[in-house]
């Protein structure tokens, strides 16, 4: 079975993005997933799509959170998707 991928859409100078990344890194200590970070400013399409929503979190392509990212809600989503638990 392949490893689950969480994608974090961010941009520079974004305090909420920094908090979301920190929360996801904490979750990574407990859950087996790959964290991919994408700067929306690298793409006009992504900037248009996510502009004011960031940070945006996708699990396997499904949008699960944006703005204030709650670590516990993401953990619940990982459990629902039966992602491997490390701790």
Q: How far is it, in rounded angstroms, from Cα 31 to Cα 52? A: 29
Q: 23-75 pLDDT, tens per residue?
A: 999 999 999 999 999 999 999 999 999 999 999 999 999 999 999 999 999 99
pLDDT at 2 over 80: no
- Whether 86 maps to a domain, the answer reads no
- Whether 4 maps to a domain, the answer reads no
Count of structural domains within the chain: 1
- Whether 1 maps to a domain, the answer reads no
> What pLDDT is stored for residue 48 in this prediction?
95
CATH of the domain at 46: 3.40.30.10
- Whether 37 maps to a domain, the answer reads yes
- Whether 2 maps to a domain, the answer reads no
Q: Which range marks the domain in which residue 74 is found?
A: 9-80
- Whether 87 maps to a domain, the answer reads no
């Amino acid at each position: 079975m392949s490893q689950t991928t969480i994608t974090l859409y961010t941009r520079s100078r974004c305090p909420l993005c920094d908090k979301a990344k920190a929360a996801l890194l904490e979750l990574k200590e407990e859950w087996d997933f790959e964290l991919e970070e994408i700067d929306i400013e690298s793409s006009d399409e992504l900037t248009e799509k996510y502009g004011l929503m960031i940070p945006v979190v996708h699990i396997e392509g499904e949008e699960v959170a944006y703005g204030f990212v709650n670590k516990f809600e993401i953990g619940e989503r990982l459990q629902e998707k039966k992602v491997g638990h490390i701790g």
